[in-house]
Amino acid sequence: MERSWQRWLIRFGIFIVMAIICIPGLWIVMTAFRDNVEVMARPPVWIPERWTLDNFRAILGLSETQQGIPVIRYFLNSLVISVTSTVLAVLIGMMGGYAFARYRFKGKNVAFLWLMLSRTVPGISLSLPVFIIWSRLGLIDTSIGVILVYLALNIPFTIWLIDGFFRQIPLSLSEAAQVDGCTRWQAFWKIEFPLAKSGIASAGIFAFLTSWNEFALASQLTRTTASKTLPVGLMDFTAQFTVDWTGMCAMAVIIIVPALILTFIVQKHLIAGLTFGGVKG
């Protein structure tokens, strides 16, 4: 009796939490497909009466009434910046993580600690110094400038995560491979890398999402279509007195969808844990 009572309480709790998480997202998606009149209506219209793709047409510059926003340009900027910074962060994370997991060297613990401490500093607090330095170096409003900042954000995290995964792989596996005829390099690619793959994939997805969604720093460091990313582009919808809510939501959907797709693709690897049947003890 009490059991089922408790279970319902838990379900109710989960429902509330999920509602808090999901409803705003759902609202954004719904808004993206409604027309402005309906969105602004008082009292609010909860269930959309008419679905439309006009908002997407508008921001893509396909309609006559409204000047388009360079969404494609922003999308490409975002893609280039996120993919480049993710690939580099994962590569460096793999090298760093492997080194921290496998080699003994002077100052290893201190170096690791500093990497972790760098995560405790809120990125935005560095935006002014970064801005000053970047403007001296001519990196303001360039993709490279943003990529560098995202690398700095992501690398400590990828190193930390990947280090943990390499640590779980017994050293004797690599040694066995070396005895079996591999160079250390081959042993890495044939044995250790496949076993750490899920960790590396997790690091990749986190790094990508961080870069893809980051707004605060990008809004300082980008100016024009040369480097503006999608989240920064959202601000184009706010004018001095008005906000184009439907356009903004349509763009938000464009931001969310690739991230969702990527997460679904990689998820298989995230869940597939390591199967350590190879060693005992």
* Interface residues toward another protein, by CB under 8 A: 170, 172-173, 175-183, 186, 190-191, 194-195, 274-281
Choose between 143 and 198: whose C-beta lies nearer to another protein: 198
The dihedral over CA atoms of 165, 167, 173, 174, expressed in degrees to the nearest 10, equals: 100
CB of 162 to another protein, least distance (A): 17
Rounded Cα gap, residues 238 and 222, in angstroms? 17
The nearest distance, CB 168 to another protein, in angstroms, is: 11
Q: Which is nearer to another protein, 25 or 194 (CB)?
A: 194
Q: State both tokens at 80.
A: 């280039």
Of 223 and 268, CB closest to another protein? 268
How many residues are given for the chain?
A: 281
Helices (H), the chain: 2-32, 36-40, 54-59, 71-102, 108-120, 127-137, 143-168, 171-179, 184-187, 193-213, 216-221, 230-233, 245-271
- For residue 256, what is the DSSP state? H
Q: How does DSSP classify residue 259?
A: H
CA distances from 80 to 83, 146, 208, 229, 232 (A): 5, 10, 11, 10, 15
Q: How many angstroms separate the CA atoms of 259 and 196, rounded?
A: 23
Q: Which is nearer to another protein, 122 or 281 (CB)?
A: 281
Nearer to another protein, 44 or 277 (CB): 277
Considering the complex, what minimum distance in angstroms separates the CB of residue 281 from another protein? Answer: 5
Cα 191–Cα 210–Cα 199 angle in degrees, nearest 5: 15
Closer residue to another protein in complex, CB, 40/171: 171
Q: Smallest gap, in angstroms, from Cβ of residue 171 to another protein?
A: 9
Shortest reach from residue 186's CB to another protein, in Å: 7
CB of 129 to another protein, least distance (A): 42
Residue 191: CB minimum distance to another protein, A: 6
Considering the complex, state which of residue 138 and residue 194 has its C-beta at the smaller distance from another protein: 194
> What whole-number distance in Å separates Cα of residue 265 and Cα of residue 34?
29
